[in-house]
Amino acid sequence: ERKMRKVILVSMLVCCFGAGKVQGMMVYNFGGECDIDFRVNDSVYIDDNSAEGPTTVNLLDGGLIAYFMKVSGDSVFNMYGGWAGGDLEFYDHSSGYICGGVRMSDLEIWDNSRLTIAGTGFNYPYGTHQNTTGYLTGTLSNGEPIATLFYIHDSATMTLVPEPATLLLLGLGVVIWTRRLYPPKLSAGSIP
């Protein structure tokens, strides 16, 4: 009976303190498009389907990905909102677009993959960045801050672009500036 008590006690201690969190992986590889506006308590793997082609996954407001994400094989990940808790990794010619949401960990871009980030106030200049490592800060297009380590390797690129409203204002400024430099010519019969 004493031996049985020890076995039960040890079993309880192992169950209470020794068991770690079990983490699964949600795999998207059906060759279509999917919106995540719900909670995913697993890691996410996005890959292409040889028969159906690349897969596109969009993280939207209300969506949450608890652990890391891996995008591979010409597939696409777009982050318009939501919350991503782990590393975001791009491999094998995959691509991504981030303009909103909250990022909590690192960005890794490998193997000719492309990532575009839209926003303002970045501590790196707008344009394409290759083969570098750093810490990116700024504000995404939806107003959320971004502060993340990034790693770019193997001919991969990260392109920082201004938010669309900034581009619109810039275009309007160019039109006004051009009109001032080259005012319309009045014809002989027109009234000034």
Domain boundaries, the chain: 27-181
Tokens, residue 98 = 């981030």
- Torsion-angle region of 180 (φ positive above 0: left; ψ -120 to 50: alpha; else: beta): alpha
What pLDDT tens digit does each residue of the chain (192 aa) get?
666 666 566 666 555 555 555 567 889 998 899 999 999 999 999 998 778 889 999 999 999 999 999 999 999 999 999 999 899 999 999 999 999 998 778 999 999 999 999 999 999 999 999 999 999 999 999 999 999 999 999 999 999 999 765 555 566 667 766 666 776 665 555 555
**pLDDT score for 103:** 79
**pLDDT score for 8:** 65
Decide: 133 and 89 in contact? Cβ < 8 Å: no
Residue 98's nearest CA partner among 63, 35, 170, 146 is 146
**pLDDT score for 141:** 92
**pLDDT score for 75:** 95
**pLDDT score for 31:** 87
Residue 20 amino acid letter:
G
